[in-house]
Structure 1
Amino acid sequence: MANHSLENIENVIVNTGNILSIDDITKKPNTNPTEELVEAINITIKEFKSGSVLDPQPDHLCVINRTNDDIISKVHEHELSELKIGFKIFLSNDNQYLVQEAIEKAFLTIKVSSVDDVVISFKQKQAEDKKDDLYQIQKVWKILESFVENGKIKQLGIADVEESTFRALYEWAAVKPSIIQINLATCCVVPPTLQAFCKENDLKLLTHSDNNDILPAESIIDIFGRPLLLNWALRFVIHVKCRGGSDY
């Protein structure tokens, strides 16, 4: 088998596919989302180095896919109307092109033309006293609204912002956020005022356990052997309606 090198690849997407089909991950039930992601990337890279075919893209991206991923067959066992599909995008900046790239590549990965919801999460600030950047959020929100207007996304959401920021976004946005996610590891009690606001406006108030930095710089170095810039990470969650759900 050929032994592929990552040394000369500068712009790459690693598609880990359906992580529920990876035994090494499902047998470790107590891992956190970052540990799962690192493990899935390592497995995908290992397959690539063992001779998997590199998938070149017309936009100069290289895509590394898992060899035996079953995500497409799983999705297409059902009609799209039977599925509830959501994306969560982990962003490092407010580059609108990268947000668009993440969504479009995700559509191509699971071969669908629309999803139910998209939640964005910005990498957390390092300084405790640094406030949310509302302008940064608004800049990304505009590109998300264009997907809603084109019928490709039904609902939008955001994770881990202050209540005042969420209210300001709600008042400003043409397409209002329908979802807010809160990490209970950093916010032990959901503010009653936020609960009331969500109830009054029929918004989904959800909790999550994602790490603030979904793929830390040290993990990237461990995986690739050198420092690289993470432009975005995207997780898709697919539920079969009336049957419960699965993370793919």
Structure 2
Amino acid sequence: MEPSSVLINTGNILSFNELKLKVGQNTNEELVEALKITLRESQAKNHAANATNGTDPTTLEDRKELKITVKIFMPSADPDLLKKAIDESFKIFDTDRIETLILAYGEAKNTESELAQLQRLWPVVETYVNDGKICHVGFSNVDTELFIKLYEWATVRPSIVQINLASCCVVPPALQTFTKEHDVQLLTHNDPYQLLGKDSLADVVGAPAKLQWVVKYQVHVKCRGVLTVKGYLVQYEK
């Protein structure tokens, strides 16, 4: 039997009462719980097996006042899968513009292989920027030297870099200096390198499956910074 892809959209998890009660969850635990709730509700409604949608987050009133941010976690350096993840992000909001996209791939190692893999993925992101569909783009979890190499190589240069303070207690001085000199926004986060491990995915879907990508999406009100939508898109192969 040919493998097929399954897409799960949690919808706006800010409306999930079960998650509100579980204070102190890390991002991985939050995602796993959100997926379980979404699948449980979908099965109760007998939705299609290859496309599961949670609470619909797509009704965005006053679009000009809102900022959409997507962070895409790629377990493999597959440009086609990255394009699919970006396209699905546009679809769920029924929009032609996303303000910020962060690419998360690799494990912050300064290796030639990780550089080559990120260089395979980045041109996909550049296409959307050049088409005027994405405004700000950047990397998450990259080694300082690797980020500088990517910055100097890229046609569309990243304007954001995210680092995880859990694995890097202080901001590397070289990265701090470089970002200041090149007007790159330096942000911190607490997401793991990959949000959904093999065991966690199997726990959710109940069978061996191969993760293709995860999108973490958020919508903020620009002037106040208030979070109005938060959710996840997950695509895997079964």
Common fold: TM-score over 0.5: yes
Structure 1 spans left out of the alignment, 5+ residues: 1-7, 56-61
Q: How far did 1:245 drift?
A: 2.6
Q: How far did 1:70 drift?
A: 4.2
Say if 1:132 and 1:162, in contact at 8 Å, map to a contact too.
Answer: no
Match of 1:84 in 2: 67
Match of 1:156 in 2: 137
Q: Give, as a single letter, the amino acid of the residue that structure 2 aligns with 1:27.
A: L
What is the alpha-carbon root mean square deviation over aligned residues?
A: 1.9
Establish whether residue 19 from structure 1 lines up as the match of residue 48 from structure 2: no
Q: How far did 1:123 drift?
A: 4.5
Say if 1:12 and 1:63, in contact at 8 Å, map to a contact too.
Answer: yes
Q: Give, as a single letter, the amino acid of the residue that structure 1 aligns with 2:32.
A: V
Match of 2:233 in 1: none
**Matched residues, number:** 228
The CA distance in 2 between the partners of 1:129 and 1:192, in whole Å, is 16
Match of 1:33 in 2: 27
Say if 1:21 and 1:70, in contact at 8 Å, map to a contact too.
Answer: no
Larger Rg: 1
Higher strand share: 2
Match of 2:190 in 1: 209
The CA distance in 2 between the partners of 1:21 and 1:132, in whole Å, is 41
The CA distance in 2 between the partners of 1:186 and 1:161, in whole Å, is 12
Q: Report 1:161-180 matches (<5 A).
A: 161-180=142-161
Q: TM-score, normalised by structure 1?
A: 0.87
CA shift in 2, pair 1:129/1:138, >3 Å: closer
Match of 1:63 in 2: 51
2:86 pairs with one of 84, 100, 103: 103
Give deviations 1:54-102, integer Å, cap 9, x for gaps.
Answer: 28xxxxxx21012xx14123x2x22x22111111000011111100100
Bigger relative contact order, structure 1 or 2 (CA pairs below 8 A, ≥6 apart)? 2
Q: Give, as a single letter, the amino acid of the residue that structure 2 aligns with 1:117.
A: T
Give deviations 1:16-43, integer Å, cap 9, x for gaps.
Answer: 0111111111222200111110011001
The CA distance in 1 between the partners of 2:155 and 2:5, in whole Å, is 34
What secondary structure is seen at the aligned counterpart in 1 of 2:171? coil
**Structure 1 runs (4+) greater than 3 angstroms displaced:** 128-132
The CA distance in 2 between the partners of 1:139 and 1:212, in whole Å, is 18
The CA distance in 2 between the partners of 1:122 and 1:228, in whole Å, is 19
